Structure 1
Amino acid sequence: MNLFSLVRRDPDASKKLFETILDTPNGKRALSRLARTCRAVAEPALNVLWRELDSLVPIIGLFPNPILKKARRPGLGLSKTPVEADWRNILKYSEKVRRISYDEASNNIAASIFPILDECRPRTHILPRLHELTWKAETPAGLDRCALFLSPEIRVLNLEIGSKFPQLSHFLSDMSARTKLTSFSFVSPTPLPDNFTDLLAQQDLLENINLVAPGALSPGVGRWVASLPKLKSLQLDLSGRSIIAVEGFFDELRPRSGDSTPSDVDSESGVFSDDELDFSEIRKSALRLTGDLPSKGSFAQLRKLQLTGDVSNIAVFLRHIMSPLSQLDLVIEDPPDNADWQDLCAIMCERFSESLQSLRVSATGSSRFADLVRSTARAEPAGGRLSLEHLTSLPFLTRLEIDLPESTVFLDADIENLSKACPNLESLRLCPLARFSQNNQPKLSLDSLAHLVVNCGHLHTIAIVLSAKQGNAEVLASRAHSSRSLLRLSLGHSWISDPLQASIFLSHIAPYLETLKWFQEKNRPGFVETNAKGWQSVAETLPHLQNIRIAERKAASRMDTIRPRMANKGIDATVRTLSRGVLATPKMYNASIQFSPTLIDQFVEAIPSVVSAAIDATPSVRNACIEALALTVEQGVEAKPHMVSMSIDATPATTSQAVETSPPPPPLTAAPTSGKREFSRRNPALLFLLSILKIISYPLTIPSRILRLILSKKPKPDGSKRIPTNDTNEKTETIVMDTLQVRQ
Structure 2
Amino acid sequence: MTSDTEVLFHIFTTIDGAGEGFRDQERDSRVTIAALARTCRAFKEPALDVLWKNINGIKPLISCFPQGVVGKTAEGKLTLGRPPFADEWKLLEQYACRVHSLTIQAFHLDQISDEVVQALVSTPSFPLLPNLRRLEWWNDRDCFFPLLRILLVPTIRSLTLRGSPYMRWSPSFAKSALLASIGVRYPSVREFNCTFDSKENSDVVSKAVCDWHELVHLQTGVLNTQALAHLASLPSLESLSFMTYDSAADTQPQSIPIFTSKLDAVSITCRCASVVIVERFLIHRIPQTSSSPSRSASLQSLSKSLSNPRMMLMTKYLIINVLHFDVIAPLLQFSRLTVLDLTWFCSLDVDDEALKYMAQAWPQLEELYFEFSSQSLVLTSRTFTGLVHLIKYCRHLHHIQMRFVACSIDTDIEPFSTTTANENLTFLDVGISSISNPIAVACQLHALLPNLTHVEYHEWDECTPLPFQEEWDEMNGYLQTLIKSAGIREKRQAK
TM-score by length of structure 1 reads: 0.37
Distance (whole Å) between structure 2 residues aligned to residue 21 and residue 347 of structure 1: 47
Give the corresponding residue for 2:232. Answer: 226
One-letter code aligned to 1:163: S
Structure 1 vs Structure 2: percent identity of aligned residues?
A: 17
Give the corresponding residue for 1:178. Answer: 185
Superimposed CA distance per residue, residues 189-247 of structure 1 (whole angstroms, 9 cap, x where no aligned partner): 242254554455432222322112xxx14334333433445333211235x75254222
Distance (whole Å) between structure 2 residues aligned to residue 182 and residue 246 of structure 1: 27
Residue 350 in structure 1 maps to residue 333 in structure 2: yes
Counterparts of 1:585-624 in structure 2, within 5 Å, are none
Distance (whole Å) between structure 1 residues aligned to residue 53 and residue 158 of structure 2: 15
CA 1:450–1:201: 2 relative to 1, 3 Å: closer
Distance (whole Å) between structure 1 residues aligned to residue 50 and residue 69 of structure 2: 28
Give the corresponding residue for 1:202. Answer: 211
One-letter code aligned to 1:210: Q
CA 1:193–1:142: 2 relative to 1, 3 Å: farther
Gaps of 5+ in 2: 164-168, 270-275, 282-298, 305-309, 345-358, 375-389, 401-422, 428-495
Query: Greater relative contact order: 1 or 2 (C-alpha under 8 angstroms, separation 6 or more)?
Result: 2
Distance (whole Å) between structure 2 residues aligned to residue 150 and residue 242 of structure 1: 35
Superimposed CA distance per residue, residues 485-529 of structure 1 (whole angstroms, 9 cap, x where no aligned partner): xxxxxxxxxxxxxxxxxxxxxxxxxxxxxxxxxxxxxxxxxxxxx
Task: Give the SS at the match of 1:153.
Answer: coil
Out of 243, 248, 264, the position equivalent to 1:237 is 243
One-letter code aligned to 2:158: V
One-letter code aligned to 1:299: F
Give the corresponding residue for 1:304. Answer: 264
One-letter code aligned to 1:133: L
Give the corresponding residue for 2:160. Answer: 158
One-letter code aligned to 1:219: T
Superimposed CA distance per residue, residues 55-103 of structure 1 (whole angstroms, 9 cap, x where no aligned partner): 2222222222211122999953211010123234422222222111223
Task: Give the SS at the match of 1:204.
Answer: coil
Task: Answer whether contact 1:206 1:230 (CA < 8 A) is retained.
Answer: yes
Residue 28 in structure 1 maps to residue 34 in structure 2: no
Task: Answer whether contact 1:233 1:303 (CA < 8 A) is retained.
Answer: yes
- 1:148 shift after superposition: 0.3
Give the corresponding residue for 1:189. Answer: 197
Gaps of 5+ in 1: 1-5, 254-294, 365-388, 408-413, 423-429, 431-446, 452-744
CA 1:117–1:243: 2 relative to 1, 3 Å: same
- 1:153 shift after superposition: 0.8
Task: Give the SS at the match of 1:96.
Answer: coil
Give the corresponding residue for 1:86. Answer: 88
Equivalent pairs counted in the alignment come to 337
One-letter code aligned to 1:114: V
Task: Answer whether contact 1:186 1:211 (CA < 8 A) is retained.
Answer: yes
Distance (whole Å) between structure 2 residues aligned to residue 64 and residue 363 of structure 1: 60
Give the corresponding residue for 1:420. Answer: 396
- 1:20 shift after superposition: 2.7
Task: Answer whether contact 2:314 2:334 (CA < 8 A) is retained.
Answer: no
Distance (whole Å) between structure 2 residues aligned to residue 15 and residue 326 of structure 1: 38
Give the corresponding residue for 1:53. Answer: 55
Superimposed CA distance per residue, residues 679-724 of structure 1 (whole angstroms, 9 cap, x where no aligned partner): xxxxxxxxxxxxxxxxxxxxxxxxxxxxxxxxxxxxxxxxxxxxxx
Distance (whole Å) between structure 2 residues aligned to residue 48 and residue 69 of structure 1: 27
Superimposed CA distance per residue, residues 659-691 of structure 1 (whole angstroms, 9 cap, x where no aligned partner): xxxxxxxxxxxxxxxxxxxxxxxxxxxxxxxxx
Distance (whole Å) between structure 1 residues aligned to residue 107 and residue 311 of structure 2: 39
Distance (whole Å) between structure 2 residues aligned to residue 350 and residue 50 of structure 1: 49
Task: Answer whether contact 2:103 2:135 (CA < 8 A) is retained.
Answer: yes
Counterparts of 1:44-123 in structure 2, within 5 Å, are 44-70=46-72, 75-104=77-106, 107-121=110-124, 123=125
CA 1:312–1:186: 2 relative to 1, 3 Å: closer
One-letter code aligned to 2:57: S
Distance (whole Å) between structure 1 residues aligned to residue 12 and residue 151 of structure 2: 30
One-letter code aligned to 1:15: T
CA 1:343–1:182: 2 relative to 1, 3 Å: closer
Task: Answer whether contact 1:306 1:330 (CA < 8 A) is retained.
Answer: no
Task: Answer whether contact 1:157 1:184 (CA < 8 A) is retained.
Answer: yes
Distance (whole Å) between structure 2 residues aligned to residue 449 and residue 24 of structure 1: 42
